[in-house]
A and B are shown apart, each in its own frame.
Chain A
């Protein structure tokens, strides 16, 4: 059974169909790529799955045996879906450590009264959480910056932190929205290496939206291609690369010489 499954997923904004009738299965343990030209509905898909947008009637989203079609975002997060944002959306005034500790929130249940009186159990729990989070920061290479406000990190470090914050939620499914955008090739390699090792270590399933096709082709097991909100191709990276419809969406229609001449003459 797939970990995440959408059935007939649709979303329209004032009549504009951003996603129409999309069926996607994401197998547990796989790295799944989602590609498509600008405006093809990739980010809308993310927002629908994480509950930022409400899908149109008739759509269904299942995650790990739960129907999450109408669940609010915070419940979806607690079930085990974590995501990063294209624009990162870090908690900029909070320290690096606090950023990841917020990510761990759903795993530290304690009440209001015990917080007020700050009893020893809470202090102990907080210290344990800190230990665990420092370990995570160590893993992604940000441990040295733990006490620094997130706004003072460099661009690459922020991207790592947004990944760390998502990982702190101990998710089953990690959704990365253009993780490599704006990174230099060396940093992209580094980031992918970290994602791969996190996947191995925690048995993650990963969904990547990415513009840099090289990243998708090298890392993904399965790739889904969207265009105008519809699925136009799916398969292994090799299969997708040779798919006629995909080439058309990315590079435009193949024309023979006569057609080209006709286009220019008119």
Chain B
């Protein structure tokens, strides 16, 4: 009854193509941002920020990136973890060798390097599609991690083989390294996510997004219409890898503090892929909801027995968590194969008609 377009007239197509055409949506998103920026960091404690919220923000960024490639351009990739590793290792190399460059710029440069690597491993997509392409991107996953493990140059030949975030400041505030506070690191991750989500939204509702979707839906027709498959697919790989690269850099420099290649293994790639499948392929908001589901639900499940005062040992509750979580994913995909984004859309339709569905 309160959620509908009644009275909100659009006088031209410019207004019709706004990101959120319905005023209530704009209010909702604005409230969400106010809470994320103004309330959460002052209410949440160190554990919440470090163990739950920061990883959620970073995984959301990676999921948005992968959704651009898989959901919009239709190219399945299992190399997400590797592209994130490229971003992380590139940031490490650049900032340890040239500490003068502002760390934010280094993050973006590293995203650029990840984009180039993404283009390289995207080349097979011109010839192979679907599952076969997924297998080809696995090559990226294994090769890149092997390279970072094997060649000491990538981790400055330090004996532990890990990369560690050095202390770096922005406007005099410590944002990376052991002395950076969780609140500041939360803000950095949040600003990156919000900024890049807006950019992603602009890309997908414009000409580039349409050419990606055209390639996804029917590549032969798209080509005859004048869309160059080579350029379009490689651009999707580049943009997606850029997002993943920045997310990887953030995961080491504002979340973990130090990491080895194991932090970016195939399970991470699968995890991000699950996020976009559960959230909804071809939906920016869905990527973020999916990331929330995959990161938050296991934590809730682990803590649930203790919360309800059930005397269950930790290892048992961990097993229960895995069973319940797996079951939930299967259930969700049966109920709505198109993910949360579609559920949300259906909910909105219902809300629009409520309480008079006829």
Check if A and B associate. Answer: yes
Interface residues of A, Cβ cutoff 8 Å to B? 50-52, 72-78, 82-83, 85, 89-94, 98, 101-103, 105-106, 108, 110, 112, 115-118, 122-124, 126-127, 130-131, 134, 165, 169
* SS class, residues of chain B in contact with chain A: helix
The 24 sampled A-B contact pairs (Cβ below 8 Å) are A50-B224, A73-B223, A74-B224, A74-B225, A74-B227, A83-B224, A89-B220, A89-B221, A91-B213, A92-B217, A93-B282, A94-B213, A101-B210, A103-B225, A110-B207, A115-B203, A118-B206, A126-B14, A126-B17, A126-B206, A127-B14, A130-B13, A134-B13, A169-B226
Are B14 and A169 touching (Cβ within 8 A)? no
- Which chain B residues border A90 with CB–CB below 8 Å? 217-218, 221
Query: Which of the listed residues A75, A106, A127 has the most CB atoms from chain B within 10 Å of its own CB?
Result: A127
Closest residue to A98 on the B side, CB-wise? Answer: B210
How far is the CB of A99 from the nearest CB of chain B, in Å? 8
Contact (A117, B202) CB under 8 Å given A105-B210, A126-B17 = yes
**Whole-angstrom CA separation of A50 from B203 in the bound complex:** 29
- Which chain B residues border A73 with CB–CB below 8 Å? 223-224
With contacts A52-B220, A127-B14 known, what are 20 further pairs, Cβ within 8 A? Answer: A72-B223, A73-B224, A74-B224, A74-B227, A77-B223, A89-B220, A89-B221, A90-B217, A92-B217, A92-B218, A93-B216, A93-B217, A94-B213, A101-B210, A102-B225, A102-B227, A106-B226, A110-B207, A123-B14, A130-B13
Are B14 and A116 touching (Cβ within 8 A)? no
How far is the CB of A149 from the nearest CB of chain B, in Å? 10
**Whole-angstrom CA separation of A105 from B206 in the bound complex:** 11
- Does B158 sit at the interface, judged by CB under 8 A? no
**Whole-angstrom CA separation of A91 from B45 in the bound complex:** 48
Query: Which 9 pairs show the lowest CB-CB distances between chains A and B?
Result: A77-B226, A91-B217, A130-B13, A106-B226, A118-B202, A89-B221, A127-B14, A73-B223, A127-B13
Closest residue to B238 on the A side, CB-wise? Answer: A112
How does the 8 Å CB contact mask read for B1-28 relative to A, with 1 for contact and 0 for none? 0000000000011101100000000000
- Does B208 sit at the interface, judged by CB under 8 A? yes
- Does B228 sit at the interface, judged by CB under 8 A? yes
How far is the CB of B297 from the nearest CB of chain A, in Å? 28
Query: Which of the listed residues A73, A75, A130 has the most CB atoms from chain B within 10 Å of its own CB?
Result: A73
**Whole-angstrom CA separation of A103 from B226 in the bound complex:** 8
**Whole-angstrom CA separation of A120 from B214 in the bound complex:** 25
Contact (A105, B17) CB under 8 Å given A74-B223, A74-B228, A77-B224 = no
- Which chain B residues border A117 with CB–CB below 8 Å? 202
Are B221 and A85 touching (Cβ within 8 A)? yes
Are A116 and B224 touching (Cβ within 8 A)? no
Closest residue to A150 on the B side, CB-wise? Answer: B217
- Does B235 sit at the interface, judged by CB under 8 A? yes
Are B202 and A115 touching (Cβ within 8 A)? yes
- Which chain A residues border B228 with CB–CB below 8 Å? 72, 74
B63-108 contacts to A, CB under 8 A, are: none
- Which chain A residues border B235 with CB–CB below 8 Å? 112
Are A94 and B14 touching (Cβ within 8 A)? no
Contact (A77, B13) CB under 8 Å given A93-B217, A94-B210, A108-B207 = no
How far is the CB of B234 from the nearest CB of chain A, in Å? 12
- Which chain B residues border A106 with CB–CB below 8 Å? 225-226
Are B214 and A102 touching (Cβ within 8 A)? yes
B247-287 contacts to A, CB under 8 A, are: 282
How far is the CB of B69 from the nearest CB of chain A, in Å? 16
Are B222 and A115 touching (Cβ within 8 A)? no
Closest residue to A92 on the B side, CB-wise? Answer: B217
Are A116 and B210 touching (Cβ within 8 A)? no
**Whole-angstrom CA separation of A131 from B15 in the bound complex:** 12
**Whole-angstrom CA separation of A87 from B239 in the bound complex:** 32
Contact with A112, one of B208, B210, B216 (Cβ below 8 angstroms): B208
**Whole-angstrom CA separation of A255 from B308 in the bound complex:** 92
- Does B240 sit at the interface, judged by CB under 8 A? no
**Whole-angstrom CA separation of A12 from B229 in the bound complex:** 26
**Whole-angstrom CA separation of A82 from B223 in the bound complex:** 11
- Which chain A residues border B223 with CB–CB below 8 Å? 72-74, 77
